[in-house]
A and B are shown apart, each in its own frame.
Chain A
Amino acid sequence: MNVFRLLGDVSHLVAIIILFLKIFRSKSCAGISGKSQVLFALVFTTRYLDLFTSFISIYNTVMKVVFLVLSYATVYLIYLRFRSSYDSESDTFRVEFLLVPVAGLSFLENYDFTPIEILWTFSIYLESVAILPQLFMITKTGEAESITTHYLFFLGLYRALYLANWVWRYHTEGFFDQIAVVSGVVQTIFYCDFFYLYVTKVLKGNSKLTLP
């Protein structure tokens, strides 16, 4: 464990909690892409299959459980509890265009052709594109509540911090996980234009992000 990874996990947790609380307290999921949240729940499900088979640390187990519970709870809030506020007309990204290539690639490019490893690889590739329905929805509606932009900021920051963690681990222990690093770079690049808008608009105190 290093400071970059710890900050990354905290940033990830903050993002997930921000989103859950925003929906739970405002009793509305307006502007939120349910499709992205389903993809994130799928990412955690396929990545944390070893939750019951291999114990790594209390921290590892607790964080996996928290991520799984909060992501499924968020999907529940969007599609069941507050489904009347779910804007399905704006959440139209064709997720099959993500799932099929990601599934195909995880069979082609992985470290070990076993179910656990292929599902882990699937979760890594899927996570790098899971935010696209949400970013697409924002470009389609042309705006996002500021709380949603804070969620996206911490979510994008988390993988950027993981990139720093991999640079650090490469230089200190020679560790290099090419699949995770390449996917992490792609994932973080998708946030770049959002980061620019976030810094230039939201942090200037605008109530919400409106796209030009």
Chain B
Amino acid sequence: AMMSRSHDEL
């Protein structure tokens, strides 16, 4: 699975 963060979540 990708290890990244979403920049659109609060």
Please list the residues of chain A having a beta carbon within 8 angstroms of any beta carbon in chain B. Answer: 1, 5, 9, 12, 50, 54, 56-57, 60, 63-64, 67, 111, 117, 120, 162, 165, 169-170, 174-180
Contacts and interface: CB of A to CB of B under 8 A. Distances in A.
A170 B1 contact: yes
A176 B6 CA distance: 9
Interface in B1-10: 1-10
A57 B10 contact: no
Contact of B3 (A57, A64, A178): A178
Interface-central residue, B1, B2, B5, B10, by most chain A CB under 10 Å: B10
Interface of B: 1-10
A56 B5 contact: no
A56 B4 contact: no
B7 to A, nearest CB: 7
A175 B7 contact: no
- 10 shortest interchain CB distances as A-B pairs: A176-B1, A56-B8, A177-B5, A63-B10, A178-B3, A9-B10, A176-B2, A111-B5, A60-B8, A177-B6
Contacts of A162: 9
A180 B8 contact: no
A165 B10 CA distance: 12
B3 A111 contact: yes
B1 to A, nearest CB: 4
Contacts of B7: 50, 54, 56
B8 to A, nearest CB: 5
Contacts of B9: 5, 162, 165, 180
